[in-house]
């Protein structure tokens, strides 16, 4: 048994990278419990494993006292000095109490400890590996689903895709290959658990990094993403090189780059707009494809009123308010859209001249004048 034990520990260290000393420490603790359980002993016990020969010894540890109250825990000074004259009251002495048949129990215990350590090591390796992929994109294969999750095989582990992380109306069939965003990796008592998403805005960022080399190398930057998964998304980009058009770069020749992403997301519409340091220009770009005449900012809040031609009002607001809603998310501004005629009526009601606005707002820029 001793040789087999040593060989097992050596293999564990070589193949799994588990320190022999750590396993021996765990084994000794487990053997103490096994001894007490099998032999009904309650005394203070220590187990010593010989890492060179593989032998196991059990010792009862007793304290030297003047008067023995509990023979399992104490030994008299008179008896102690017979063993060694140097012993004094308060010292501890170890008496070997290794049972003859303890080898069988030790072998069973060792097997359990080693298997447990192997499982723990494998879990740690998987956790560390997938922690590195957190906030990144991976390709997986749909395996199965239940009422709570769709289970996606990522190779060494099965990730979970919750309902809120799925693209609405997207159908997932077993063996489908899908790209997922690793949103969270947890090390639970049952082992590592990986949570993935298809609806997360950062999935869009990672897809663009894969398809657009200029984004991956940092020449073009994605500043912001607003997304209603499965329906429509807006992506704001800027270029660090004045000679490179950030929008055209992301769209690609004949729209090939963006179309690859649209296909991966099952037809999700994509608006790519140019970021601008001027918030009025940025908001105007964000409301694409609508044309903006004027942007009026509230001085005290991140809020603005956007004026558009009458015939552009429904386009600016979008179906069910989607265009305005996504533009607000993209720019982090509260946007109120008004038609040109409604704005004129408002100014008349406040008895202001056509080119003036109420005290609490400020015209940052008039885009209609710029265009002229």
pLDDT at position 363 over 70? no
Residue 228: other Cβ atoms inside 10 A: 18
Q: Is the pLDDT of residue 128 over 90?
A: no
Instruction: Please tell me the predicted confidence (pLDDT) of residue 2.
Output: 60
Give the model's pLDDT for residue 259.
Answer: 95
Amino acid 359: pLDDT:
46
Confidence at residue 351, expressed as pLDDT on a 0 to 100 scale = 56
Q: What is the pLDDT of residue 110?
A: 75
Residue 176 has pLDDT above 90, yes or no: yes
CA end-to-end span of the chain? 93
At 371, the pLDDT band (50, 70, 90 cuts) reads: very low
Distance CA 15, CA 23 (A): 14
Interacting residues of 150 by C-beta distance below 8 A, sequence separation 6+? 142, 144, 160, 161, 166, 172
The C-alpha atoms of residue 35 and residue 48 are separated, in whole angstroms, by 12
Q: Which helix (H) or strand (E) holds 310?
A: none
CA distance 269 to 259: 9
The percent of residues above 70 in pLDDT, for the chain, comes to 92
Cα–Cα distance, 5 to 110 (Å, whole number): 8
Q: Using alpha carbons, select from 280, 106, 261, 120 the residue that is nearest to residue 188.
A: 120
Does residue 203 carry a pLDDT above 80?
Answer: yes
* Backbone phi and psi for residue 161, each to the nearest 5 degrees, phi listed first: -115, 105
* Closest listed residue to residue 110, CA positions, set 195, 25, 19, 187: 25
Q: Which residue has better confidence, 113 or 261?
A: 261
Instruction: Give the mean pLDDT of 6-11.
Output: 77
Q: Which residue has the higher pLDDT, 13 or 207?
A: 207
Task: Give the pLDDT score at 162.
Answer: 95
Evaluate if residue 151 carries a pLDDT over 70. Answer: yes
Q: Is the confidence at residue 287, as pLDDT, over 80?
A: yes
Residue 261's nearest CA partner among 205, 222, 213, 304 is 205
Taking the C-alpha atoms of residue 61 and residue 41, their distance in angstroms, rounded to an integer, is: 12
Q: Which CATH class is domain 282-372?
A: alpha beta
CATH superfamily for domain 200-275: K homology (KH) domain (3.30.300.20)
Q: Is residue 64 a contact partner of residue 70, using CB atoms and an 8 Å limit? A: no
Length of the chain: 372
Please, what is the average pLDDT of the chain?
Answer: 86
DSSP state letters, 257-286:
HHHHHHHHTTS-EEEEEE--SSHHHHHHHH
Q: So what's the pLDDT on residue 335? A: 95
The residue-averaged pLDDT of 5-18 equals: 76
Q: Are 46 and 59 in contact (CB under 8 A)?
A: yes
pLDDT in tens, 236-245: 999 999 999 9
Residue 279, pLDDT > 80, answer yes
pLDDT tens sequence across 321-340 = 999 999 999 999 999 999 99
Helix %, strand %, coil % for the chain, to 5?
40, 30, 30
Distance separating alpha carbons of residues 156 and 358, to the nearest angstrom: 63
**What is the β-pairing status of strands 361-365 and 303-308?**
unpaired
Strands 334-339 and 361-365 come out as unpaired
Which one of 24-28, 56-60, 102-106 scores highest in mean pLDDT? 56-60
CATH entry 2.40.160.40 includes domain 135-197: no
Coil, strand, or helix at residue 363? Answer: strand
135-197 has the same fold as 2-130:
no
Check whether domain 2-130 has CATH 3.30.1480.10, yes or no: yes
Mean pLDDT, range 183-193, rounded to an integer: 88
Mean pLDDT of 306-335: 95
C-alpha distances in Å from residue 130, one per residue of 12, 193, 198, 220, 299: 23, 9, 17, 28, 46
Give the sheet arrangement for strand 232-239, strand by strand: 220-228, 232-239, 269-274
Q: What is the pLDDT of residues 338-362, one digit of tens each?
A: 999 999 888 887 754 445 445 444 4
Q: What's the confidence (pLDDT) of residue 35?
A: 80
Predicted confidence at residue 362, as pLDDT, reads 45
**Strand 177-188 versus strand 158-162 pairing type:** unpaired
Buried b or exposed e, range 199-216, using 16+ CB within 10 angstroms: bbbbbbbbbbbbbbebbe
Contacts 24+ apart (CB under 8 A), 274-277: 274/236, 274/237, 274/238, 274/246, 274/247, 275/223, 275/224, 275/236, 275/237, 275/238, 275/246, 276/238
Looking up tokens 């099998």 gives: 38
**pTM of the predicted protein model:** 0.69
- pLDDT-derived band at 3, boundaries 50, 70, 90: low
Reported as a pLDDT band with limits 50, 70 and 90, residue 14 is confident
Least confidently predicted of 12-21, 83-92, 193-202: 12-21
Q: Where are the domains of the chain?
A: 2-130, 135-197, 200-275, 282-372
* Candidate from 158-162, 297-301, 311-315, 363-367 with smallest mean pLDDT: 363-367
Q: Is 332 left (phi over 0), alpha (psi -120 to 50) or beta?
A: left
């Amino acid at each position: 048994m001793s040789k087999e034990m040593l060989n097992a520990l050596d293999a564990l260290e070589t193949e799994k990278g588990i320190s022999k000393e750590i396993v021996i420490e765990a084994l000794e603790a487990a053997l103490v419990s096994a001894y007490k359980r099998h032999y009904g002993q309650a005394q203070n016990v220590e187990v010593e494993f010989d890492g060179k020969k593989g032998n196991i010894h059990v010792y009862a540890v007793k304290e030297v006292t003047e008067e023995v109250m509990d023979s399992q825990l104490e030994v008299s000074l008179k008896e102690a000095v017979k063993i060694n004259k140097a012993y004094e009251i308060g010292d501890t002495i170890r008496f070997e109490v290794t049972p003859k048949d303890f080898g069988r129990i030790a072998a069973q215990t060792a097997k359990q400890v080693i298997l447990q350590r192997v499982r723990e090591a494998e879990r740690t390796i998987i956790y560390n590996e997938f922690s590195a992929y957190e906030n990144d994109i991976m390709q997986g294969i749909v395996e199965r689903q239940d009422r709570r999750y769709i289970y996606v095989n990522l190779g060494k582990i099965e990730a979970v895709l919750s309902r809120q992380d799925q693209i609405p109306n997207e159908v997932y069939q077993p063996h489908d290959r899908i790209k997922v965003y690793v949103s969270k990796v947890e090390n639970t008592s049952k082992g590592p658990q990986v949570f993935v998403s298809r609806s997360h805005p950062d999935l869009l960022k990672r897809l663009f990094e894969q398809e657009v080399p200029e984004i991956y190398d940092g020449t073009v930057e994605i500043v912001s993403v607003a997304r209603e998964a499965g329906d429509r998304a807006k992506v704001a980009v800027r270029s660090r090189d004045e000679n490179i058009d950030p929008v055209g770069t992301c769209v690609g020749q004949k729209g090939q780059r963006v179309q690859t992403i649209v296909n991966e997301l099952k037809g999700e519409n994509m608006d790519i707009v140019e970021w601008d340091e001027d918030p009025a220009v940025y908001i105007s770009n964000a409301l694409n494809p609508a044309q903006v005449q004027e942007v009026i900012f509230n001085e005290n809040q991140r809020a603005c009123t956007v004026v558009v031609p009458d015939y552009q009002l429904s386009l600016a607001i979008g179906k069910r308010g989607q265009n305005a809603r996504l533009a607000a998310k993209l720019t982090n501004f509260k946007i109120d859209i008004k038609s040109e005629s409604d704005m004129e009526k408002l100014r008349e009601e406040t008895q202001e001249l056509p080119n003036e606005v109420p005290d609490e707002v400020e015209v940052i820029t008039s885009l209609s004048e710029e265009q002229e």
